[in-house]
Amino acid sequence: MTGHVALVGAGPGDPELLTLKGLRRIESADAVVFDRLVARDILDRIPSGATRIYAGKALSRHHLPQAEINNLLVSLGRSGRNVVRLKGGDPFIFGRGSEEAAVLAEHGIPFEIVPGISAASGCSAYSGVPLTHRGIAQGVRYVTGHGRDDGTLEHEWAALLDERTTLVIYMGLSNLGRIARNLLDAGHAADIPAAIVENGTTENQRVVKATLGTLADTVHDRAITAPSVVIIGRVVDLGDSLAWFRPDAAGGSPWTDVTSG
């Protein structure tokens, strides 16, 4: 008896950003395998009788190794149940959703992908920093901030940035000093605007503005923690006027400007 596995993107943090299709899959699930960054309000929509399995991951600290998650999804799929693999952001953007889907396909387990609002999209919108803007940024590039199995980053540093492209770095907090240095050594200007969005789209969101040259010191001085997304490019300056989301109770600006730091 074969069940069905839905790889569902839970979005970037704000539970109201979950898609309607994702909600329907969660509410009809017999088993849910969920990640660390899924909002509590979303987990509360799991049926009371459904099996819940935590598969959370942080840098170098995996509750379940990826191979075990893959085997678990195959086992649950073969049990005849409706299974939801619930992942933060979007399953196909640095979410290893394609790896899990490939294993399911290899074993003949029916599956579907339910997209989610990505961390880049959510953090961009909630910080007021558009990823593209006519006359400023004609494209956007997403890169990971850590290597496979925490190994060396192998990016073409000279090609990552240009005047018309926004660069978004996922999971790069621990390597941000090396990333910034590599970009600077590749010839990119130290005064390129940058923003770090911590806990994006949530009530704990904090946006810190810096430059490529001050990124590493900013992370240290402001005690920025994961989850955080880094946005680098001229579009960052638009956040000064477009930052609409103010999670602080006093209603003040969500920006801390350390450009000159």
Of 50, 57, 42, 48, which Cα lies nearest the Cα of 100? 57
In the residue annotation, 57 being an active-site residue is answered as yes
Domains in the chain (CATH in brackets) are: 4-114 (3.40.1010.10), 119-257 (3.30.950.10)
Average pLDDT over residues 102-119: 98
Structure confidence at residue 256 (pLDDT)? 67
Structure confidence at residue 50 (pLDDT)? 98
pTM attached to this predicted model: 0.91
pLDDT digits (tens, 9 = 90+) for 133-187: 999 999 999 999 987 665 678 888 999 988 899 999 999 999 999 999 999 999 9
Q: What is the DSSP string of 154-187?
A: ---HHHH-BTTEEEEEES-GGGHHHHHHHHHHTT
Average pLDDT over residues 224-243: 96
Instruction: Spot the catalytic one: 35, 87, 90, 209.
Output: 35
Sorted by sequence, the CB contacts under 8 Å of residue 131 that are 6+ apart come out as 120, 121, 124, 137, 140, 166, 168, 231, 235
Instruction: Spot the catalytic one: 14, 21, 41, 57.
Output: 57
Distance from chain centroid for Cα 164: 23
**What is the rounded CA–CA span in Å between residue 43 and residue 65?**
21
pLDDT reading at 249 higher than 60: no
Average pLDDT over residues 100-109: 97
Is 14 in contact with 201 (CB distance < 8 Å)?
yes
Structure confidence at residue 164 (pLDDT)? 93
